[in-house]
Amino acid sequence: MIWVSWRRQRTETLVTAALLALLAAVLVPTGIEMASTFDRDGLAACLGAQPGQACASALSSFNSRFDSLGSFIAWLTLVPGLIGVLLAAPLVLELEHRTHRLAWTQSVSRARWLAGKLGLAIAVALAASLVFTLLVTWWRAPMVRIDGRLDQSVFDSEGTVVSGYTLFALGLAAAVGVVWRRAVASLVVGFVGYFAARIFVDTWLRQRFLSPVTTTFNLLSGGPDKLRHAWVLNEYPSDRAGHHVRIPFDLCGPPPPGGGKPDIGNCLADHGVFMHATYLPAGRFWALQGIETALFCGVALVLLAFAAWWTYSRAD
Amino acid sequence: MTAPVHAHGLGKRYGATWALRDCTLEIPTGSVTALVGPNGAGKTTLLQLVVGLSRPTDGSVRVFGADPVGDPAAVLQHVGFVAQEHPLYRGFTIADTLKLGLKMNPNWDDELAHARIEQLGLPIRRKVGKLSGGQQAQVALTLALAKRPDLLVLDEPVASLDPLARREFLQSLMEAVAEGGLTVILSSHILADLERVCDHIIILANGRTQLASPIDDVVATHRLLTGPRADAAAIARMHDVVSERHTERQTSLLVRANGHVYDATWELHEVDLEEIVLAYLARDRSAMADTVRSA
């Protein structure tokens, strides 16, 4: 049974492997370059709270050099969806070409056949997610040391969430496909659905997983250390108690002519204006990962169970 | 030994339409049964119920005493099935297809499978999708036969084949049957294909069984009666009138005789199987038309 499932899923698995190989071909050389730049410029020493002038210029040159790559990498978050829907193809094709009648009239029961087919798809999806996550995490290690890993584009390709995304895409395409029995159309719908669900979670839901923390700090101090690498949800000028206020530019206005640089931060603090931030601390990374992984895996499980049940009981 | 197939009050409904209704029949061990009927008569539905691809809406079907849907493990390894259009994995080579058979069937006869492919002169490394329709049908039959089934179920196996491939396929089938121990059901809407191969016949029309009997009995009991124009009522009291045709002077009746026809007003003629089958199918069509009219 395993051999049959494998043989039926060989093309999709090879395409997945090719996709990951292509990714590695881009990430490995640039990753090595980025890591060696990070070491050569001694950026590790610059990650303290108050970097000096030399550090600031080294950091900014590092950022300007690799930022474009970083934003390209943000698009990689589509890859788990692509792999997921691709792995749903063997099951849907089976129903579209009606070859399930061949498989179901050998001596293997429908339940075992389904278990073999979905089991293999899930296994390859998980393996591909693991490779993807390891690759991207290794590649981005220097950037993460500078910017942290709660940023949207970082969070969704590290930790455990990628496996959730891939399984979700697989489950969605499979669920649509077993009902519709059109492979190409179901895969497209599955992918669009994946994209929509991801946007919804990224931009609206994730920040509501945990109750955020608030802090009030001196406006131009650059913020307390706990905001470093944190996910700042909301920031506004406030009074000492955190109530929203307007910045009184008339009081702490532009520098007097001929005068030196005014200390606007302290001026504002003197007039009772602070900065209020709502944020999720960097330490919440794994809690957020856990919740999001459980969410996507849970929905994926429901979708896969539905696909299996529908195929088992409805198709003939 | 329990009958290979035993159906009782079997029915299958799709939405509001009954594809098969109140079907009761038994397929005897070792028989080769032709399942005949027009397209949409319920042939495929009946065969899919037998191999457990569909679930009955009504009644029950037992294959070697077991429920094909509820207990597939008990049924499937004894049944070889070639579905309509003989689905195969087009991306598989013939060798892959035989390996699938090996992996998915405990009684698989690998030697037989390879011997058959070789005997047919099929290139084992060729992809199934690149084979002709006739060759694909032969691969599908090989897959079904190498399971070493006790019951072979073929749904319209030759419908899509050209006449030569059709003859070769049926030849292969007859050779397999000649080896013995095999019960076969095959469906077709073309009777000529089946007459040479089969010894039993089931006529299915409009979702119902019209006739289920050994072919010899069918031919022996059906007679064409011709005589001066008359009403069929007298004959119908004794025998089953399948069809009646009246001209101005003459009446001809096709009857299924219960014993001898003693009435001297009628001249008796033997009829061949095809005429009998056509009469049943025509009768069904007029019955269907009546239903439509009264609705």
Query: What string of pLDDT tens digits covers the 295 residues of chain B?
Result: 689 999 999 999 998 999 999 999 999 999 999 999 888 889 999 999 999 999 999 999 999 999 999 999 889 999 999 998 889 999 999 999 999 999 999 999 999 999 999 999 999 999 999 999 999 999 999 999 999 999 999 999 888 888 898 888 999 899 988 887 899 999 987 777 777 889 999 999 888 888 999 999 999 999 999 999 888 888 888 888 998 888 999 999 999 988 888 778 889 999 989 899 989 888 766 665 555 554 4
What CATH superfamily classification does B5-205 receive?
A: P-loop containing nucleotide triphosphate hydrolases (3.40.50.300)
Whole-angstrom Cα distance, residue B26 to residue B11? 15
Chain A residues within 8 A of B96 when measuring between CB atoms: 7
**Rounded to a whole number, what is the distance in Å from the CA of A98 to chain B's nearest CA?**
7
Q: Is the pLDDT of residue A314 over 80?
A: no
**Nearest partner of B227 among B256, B259, B264, B261, judged by Cα:** B264
Whole-angstrom Cα distance, residue B117 to residue B121? 6
Query: Could you give the ipTM of this predicted complex?
Result: 0.86
Is A308 found in the same domain as A269? no
How does pLDDT run across B237-292, given as a tens digit for each residue?
888 899 888 899 999 999 998 888 877 888 999 998 989 998 988 876 666 555 55
Cβ–Cβ below 8 Å for B104 and A98: no
Cβ–Cβ below 8 Å for A105 and B107: no
Q: What is the chain A residue with the closest CA to B106?
A: A107
Is A86 found in the same domain as A227? no
Mean pLDDT of chain A: 89
Is A123 found in the same domain as A218? no
Chain B residues within 8 A of A110 when measuring between CB atoms: 72
Q: Is the pLDDT of residue A293 over 50?
A: yes
Is A224 found in the same domain as A201? no
Is A299 found in the same domain as A218? no
Chain B residues within 8 A of A4 when measuring between CB atoms: 100, 103-104
Whole-angstrom Cα distance, residue B212 to residue B257? 15
| A121 and B CB contact within 8 Å | no
Q: Say which amino acid occupies A169.
A: A
Alpha carbon B88 to chain centroid distance?
Answer: 22
Whole-angstrom Cα distance, residue A126 to residue A167? 8
Is A241 found in the same domain as A102? no
- Give the model's pLDDT for residue A262: 59
Q: Which residue of B76, B139, B152 to mutate against A (max A Cβ within 10 Å)?
A: B76
Cβ proximity of B107 and B150 under 8 Å: no
Cβ proximity of A80 and A166 under 8 Å: yes
How does pLDDT run across A12-56, given as a tens digit for each residue?
999 999 999 999 999 999 999 999 999 888 888 887 656 677 888
How does pLDDT run across A169-217, given as a tens digit for each residue?
999 999 999 999 999 999 999 999 999 999 999 999 999 999 999 998 8
Q: Between helices B94-104 and B133-145, what is the axis angle to 10°?
A: 20
Confidence band of A228 (pLDDT split at 50, 70, 90): confident
What is the number of other CB atoms lying within 10 angstroms of the CB of residue A124? 21
Whole-angstrom Cα distance, residue A232 to residue A222? 13
- Give the model's pLDDT for residue B37: 87
Residue with tokens 């998915």: B104
- Give the model's pLDDT for residue A41: 85
Whole-angstrom Cα distance, residue B89 to residue A288? 44
- Give the model's pLDDT for residue A246: 82
Per the structure, the complete domain to which residue A69 belongs is given by 2-209+284-314
Which range, of A89-98, A114-123, A252-261, B109-118, averages the lowest pLDDT? A252-261
How does pLDDT run across A119-141, given as a tens digit for each residue?
999 999 999 999 999 999 999 89
- Give the model's pLDDT for residue A43: 84
- Give the model's pLDDT for residue B295: 42
Alpha carbon A98 to chain centroid distance?
Answer: 37
- Give the model's pLDDT for residue A273: 84
Give me A307's structure tokens. Answer: 């696909």
Whole-angstrom Cα distance, residue B222 to residue B209? 17
Is A160 found in the same domain as A256? no
Domain boundaries, chain B: 5-205, 217-294
Strands B267-270 and B222-228: antiparallel
Cβ–Cβ below 8 Å for B76 and A107: yes
- Give the model's pLDDT for residue A24: 95
Is A292 found in the same domain as A238? no
Is A192 found in the same domain as A65? yes
- Give the model's pLDDT for residue A48: 67
Q: Is the pLDDT of residue A58 over 90?
A: no
Instruction: Give mean pLDDT, residues A114-118.
Output: 95
Cβ–Cβ below 8 Å for B104 and A99: no
Q: How many domains are contained in chain A?
A: 2
**Rounded to a whole number, what is the distance in Å from the CA of B239 to chain A's nearest CA?**
41
